[in-house]
Chains A and B, each alone.
Chain A
Amino acid sequence: NAGVTQTPKFQVLKTGQSMTLQCAQDMNHNSMYWYRQDPGMGLRLIYYSASEGTTDKGEVPNGYNVSRLNKREFSLRLESAAPSQTSVYFCASRGQGSYGYTFGSGTRLTVV
C-alpha cells in the first residue's frame, strides 16, 4: 500500500543546475498533480495531468516542465534552477469521480 511515492526526499542544487523530481502512484488513478508549498502560502498548483497523455499548467508553471510518462508516473523538471524555486514539492493523485487527493511525502528542494 505505497500510494504516492516521491523521489528524492531532499535535494540541494546550485543555481542553474537542472533536475527531475519523480513521482509514481500505484492506485490506478487517472489524474496527477504537482504542487509547491511555501511558508504562509499553502499549496500552489504547478502542473497537472488529468489523464495519461495530457498535461496542463496550473497557477505557477513558470520555470517547470512535466512529463506524464505513463498512467503511474508524472515527473517534474527544473531546467535551470533558481533560488525562488526553493520549496517543498508535493505530488498527488486523484481517482475518477473523487475530490480526495492522495499526496506523497514531498521533496524538499534547496537552490543555492
Chain B
Amino acid sequence: GQQLNQSPQSMFIQEGEDVSMNCTSSSIFNTWLWYKQEPGEGPVLLIALYKAGELTSNGRLTAQFGITRKDSFLNISASIPSDVGIYFCAGPPSGSARQLTFGSGTQLTVLP
C-alpha cells in the first residue's frame, strides 16, 4: 500500500524552541491530516488540510499542504512541556475516501 514517510523519527528540544516536522508520499494525497498521540491515549486530530498550498493554524501549531500534493509540514512554535507526544501525519489513499494511511510518527520530547 501507499506509504507516508515522516521525519524526523524523534526530536529532543528545549522548552521554548520551535519545532518542524514533515511528511512525504510517493503519490498524491488530496487531504492531509495531522494527529497527536499522548502516552496511553489514542491519536487526536490537530489539523486537517484540504487544498494544495493551504496553510492552517491551530494555536501554536501551523500545518501546510505542499503544492506538489505529495508532502505536508507541521510547525510548533514556542514549545511547552505538554507538547510531548507522537505526531502522525495521515491521508486517504487515492481513490479511497474510506481509509486513512498513517505515517510512522515523530516522537517529540520537550526538555525543561
Contact = CB atoms under 8 A, between A and B. Distances in A.
Chain B interface SS verdict (over half): loop
Max chain A C-beta neighbours (<10 A), residue from B31, B44, B48, B102: B102
Interface size bucket, A side?
Answer: 20 to 34
A42 B45 contact: no
Contact of A101 (B40, B45, B101, B103): B45
Contact of A40 (B9, B41, B90, B102): B9
A74 interface: no
Interface stretch (B14-22, B60-68, B71-79, B92-100): B92-100
Interface size bucket, B side?
Answer: 20 to 34
Contacts, number: 54
A94 to B, nearest CB: 8
B90 to A, nearest CB: 8
26 contacts: A40-B9, A41-B104, A42-B6, A42-B88, A42-B102, A43-B88, A43-B90, A44-B102, A48-B99, A50-B98, A56-B98, A58-B99, A59-B1, A90-B43, A99-B31, A99-B33, A99-B48, A99-B92, A99-B100, A100-B33, A101-B45, A101-B100, A102-B45, A103-B42, A103-B43, A105-B41
Interface string A27-67: 00001010100001111110010100000101100000000
